[in-house]
């Protein structure tokens, strides 16, 4: 009788504009604190007037981002599994998913922290920068990776919170993390003159405090909930399912990184000015992506919950509403960039040559939000539904199509062809997943 009641409770939710916005709006604000943090880090080190330190920070941050992209599955994978458990009304499984993610985070984090010296050496070899840049980069990486266990546990905490649709709590945790980071970055890096080391220690402290706060909030919630047996956390089949999901998301993430790396490399073949102009314009796409990620997160939670509840109507409504809001936001972003993009380019760079080239290709960058919105939203749906194999396969297909488009269009049309290939990549990602979605819906419900 209790199981029937729990299942009925899981199916009783409704998907409305309000439920979409309740997740999307706070998480959009939370995601936007990330580039703000990067700006502050750069500005603090830039005030020291040493180009080598600034270069070391940039190189170290790049190496760190590549390493931690591998573990982003702890956030997105946890969100999907928790949302499905919530849809089924299975409170104990919500707890179990969280603790499994924490166990993976602790083990992986300790290994990463222990390997910090080797990661620093590998980063120095890969970047092949001048000695003072390499030295600053090594300092940043060695300190920053001490936070690896805290950072990965924070991924699990955020995944659990978003899986339950608690966007405001997710925003609060991100504000604490990045707020402490920014404040200590200014204090340690600038006021006390610690430079790159101060920026790194600020991040370690911010991650640690956010982890303690998140664990305290969730732990208090679990304390009042039914007790979870240890053997359920360590269930082998559940761990294997999580690892399979995580593997597919990792492959998808690396394929995405590879596509952007190819885009940047090809842009470099067209000369330094074109490379710089493309870098300026890609900022517009990345910022639009932070906004669209809010609605992708809403799609993760709502779609996952609907799959857990086996509620086909709610699933379709989640897909429709998150796409509707995503399209509206993407259209707005495109319009803003078309009308004011030239002025925004001028704010970012003072180089007249770079401005002139960026203005030529601005329309291509402006329309990336529209061509990419379906890809962002479908990623959210498939992560929430834990259809990770389809997402992985369609990403690999999209990467192959992008590579072919790059080989054909870039030599024929130059930088216009390069941007056209990027649009092909985004469109193939979105529409290939949409085609698979129709098949999956027939079998999932």
**pLDDT value of position 35:** 66
90 Ramachandran zone, left/alpha/beta (phi>0; psi -120 to 50): beta
Res. 353 pLDDT band, cuts 50 70 90? confident
Average pLDDT (112-125) is 87
Average pLDDT (69-90) is 89
Res. 38 pLDDT band, cuts 50 70 90? low
Question: What count of Cα atoms within 13 Å lies in the side-chain half-sphere of residue 7?
Answer: 6
Res. 46 pLDDT band, cuts 50 70 90? low
Residue from 83, 64, 227, 106 nearest 159 by CA: 83
Res. 40 pLDDT band, cuts 50 70 90? confident
Q: Cα–Cα distances in Å, from 240 out to 35, 93, 148, 154?
A: 34, 15, 23, 22
Residue from 132, 114, 150 nearest 52 by CA: 132
- Whether the CB-CB separation of 373 and 292 falls below 8 Å is answered with yes
Percentage with pLDDT > 90 across the chain: 52
Q: What is the pTM of this model?
A: 0.85
d(C-alpha 373, C-alpha 426), whole Å: 8
Res. 403 pLDDT band, cuts 50 70 90? very high
Work out whether the CA dihedral 290, 296, 300, 305 comes out positive or negative.
Answer: positive
Residues for the chain: how many in total?
Answer: 445
Q: Is 75's pLDDT higher than 70?
A: yes
Least confident of 171-185, 219-233, 368-382: 219-233
Q: Cα–Cα distances in Å, from 378 out to 22, 331, 423?
A: 19, 17, 16
Q: Is 2's pLDDT higher than 80?
A: no
Percentage with pLDDT > 70 across the chain: 92
Average pLDDT (9-24) is 81
Q: Is 444's pLDDT higher than 90?
A: no
Least confident of 57-66, 273-282, 431-440: 57-66
Summarize pLDDT for 289-341 with one digit per residue, the tens: 888 889 999 999 999 999 999 999 999 999 999 999 999 999 999 999 999 98
d(C-alpha 93, C-alpha 99), whole Å: 10
Summarize pLDDT for 196-239 with one digit per residue, the tens: 889 899 999 999 999 999 999 999 999 988 888 888 888 888 88
User: What residues have CB less than 8 Å from 356, skipping those under 6 apart?
Assistant: none
**Mean of per-residue pLDDT scores for the chain:** 87
d(C-alpha 263, C-alpha 369), whole Å: 17
d(C-alpha 433, C-alpha 375), whole Å: 8
Summarize pLDDT for 241-271 with one digit per residue, the tens: 888 888 898 898 888 888 887 887 888 788 8
CA 53 to chain centre: 27
Average pLDDT (27-54) is 73
d(C-alpha 234, C-alpha 13), whole Å: 30
Coil/strand/helix, residue 47: coil
d(C-alpha 10, C-alpha 94), whole Å: 13
Q: Is 5's pLDDT higher than 70?
A: no
Residue from 99, 75, 95, 100 nearest 85 by CA: 95
């Amino acid at each position: 009788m209790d199981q029937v009641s729990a299942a009925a409770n899981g199916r009783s939710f409704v998907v409305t504009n309000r439920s979409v916005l309740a997740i999307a709006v706070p998480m959009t604000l939370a995601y936007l604190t990330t580039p703000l943090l990067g700006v502050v880090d750069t500005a603090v080190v830039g005030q020291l007037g040493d180009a080598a330190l600034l270069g070391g920070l940039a190189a170290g941050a790049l190496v760190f981002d590549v390493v931690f992209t591998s573990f982003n599955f702890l956030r997105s994978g946890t969100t999907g599994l928790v949302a499905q458990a919530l849809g089924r009304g299975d409170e104990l499984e919500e707890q179990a998913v969280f603790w499994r993610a924490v166990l993976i985070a602790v083990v992986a984090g300790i290994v990463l922290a222990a390997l910090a010296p080797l990661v620093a050496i590998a980063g120095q070899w890969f970047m092949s920068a001048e000695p003072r840049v390499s030295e600053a980069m090594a300092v940043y990486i060695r300190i920053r990776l001490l936070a690896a266990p805290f950072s990965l546990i924070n991924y699990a905490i955020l995944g659990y919170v978003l899986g339950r649709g608690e966007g405001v709590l997710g925003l609060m945790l991100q504000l604490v993390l990045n707020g402490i980071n920014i404040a200590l970055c200014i204090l340690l890096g600038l006021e006390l003159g610690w430079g790159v080391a101060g920026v790194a220690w600020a991040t370690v402290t911010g991650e640690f405090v956010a982890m303690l706060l998140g664990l305290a909030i969730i732990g208090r919630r679990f304390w009042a909930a039914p007790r979870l047996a240890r053997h359920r956390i360590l269930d082998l089949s559940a761990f294997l399912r999580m690892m399979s999901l995580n593997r597919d998301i990792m492959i998808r993430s690396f394929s995405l990184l590879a596509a952007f790396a190819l885009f940047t490399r090809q842009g470099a073949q067209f000369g330094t000015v074109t490379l710089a102009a493309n870098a300026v314009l890609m900022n517009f796409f990345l910022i639009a992506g932070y906004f669209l990620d809010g609605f992708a997160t809403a799609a993760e939670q709502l779609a996952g919950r609907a799959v857990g509840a086996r509620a086909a109507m709610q699933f379709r409504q989640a897909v429709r509403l998150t796409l509707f809001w995503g399209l509206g936001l993407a259209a707005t972003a495109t319009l803003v960039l078309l009308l004011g993009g030239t002025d925004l380019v001028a704010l970012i760079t003072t180089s007249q040559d770079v401005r002139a080239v960026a203005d030529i290709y601005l329309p291509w960058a402006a329309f990336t939000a529209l061509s990419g919105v379906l890809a962002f939203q479908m990623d959210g749906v498939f992560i929430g539904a834990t259809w990770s194999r389809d997402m992985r396969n369609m990403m690999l297909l999209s990467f192959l199509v992008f590579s072919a488009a790059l080989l054909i269009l870039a030599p024929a049309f130059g930088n216009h062809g390069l941007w056209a290939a990027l649009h092909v990549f985004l469109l193939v990602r979105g529409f290939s997943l949409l085609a698979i979605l129709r098949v999956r819906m027939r079998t999932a419900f």
